[in-house]
Amino acid sequence: MSSLKTLSVVAALSAGLLLSAVVQAHPKLLSSTPAEGATVAPPAKIELIFSEKLTTQFSGAKLIMTEMPGMSAHSPMGVKTSVAGSADPKMMVITPDVPLTPGTYKVEWRAVSSDTHPITGAVTFKVK
């Protein structure tokens, strides 16, 4: 194989590997405040930090109260919030409209980055 052909093959393989790495660059949740499984005082806001810059118009979250102390049968209840990006393009901020009462909460999130592939997940925490 001539050195030009070899160089062309190596360049094509390298480009393919680089492209596949970029295409698979889905956002991953790196951390949350409150953290998964934490028991905290009522937070004024919930922060989710991702591995990629978020496309805010396609990303979002909802907050659900899943358990309430003293109630054996409790249907999940949505909590009114506002969801926004922040100065950090990898952060999503969920702000409850009213202070959270004691109970268990789940944040169901949807994150979209530059590859436009939505990734979903959840974070659960308790408010004391």
What residues does each domain of the chain span? Answer: 26-127
104: CB partners within 8 A, 6+ apart: 65, 66, 67, 124, 125, 126, 127
User: What pTM does this model have?
Assistant: 0.79
Question: How do strand 39-40 and strand 119-127 relate by DSSP bridges?
Answer: parallel
**Distance in angstroms (rounded) separating the CA atoms of residues 113 and 105:** 25
Mean pLDDT across 2-26: 54
53-95 tens-digit pLDDT: 999 999 999 999 999 988 867 789 999 999 999 999 999 999 9
Q: In the CATH scheme, what is the code of domain 26-127? A: 2.60.40.1220
**Distance in angstroms (rounded) separating the CA atoms of residues 103 and 76:** 11
**Max CA separation in the chain (angstroms):** 78
Supply the pLDDT for residue 81. Answer: 97
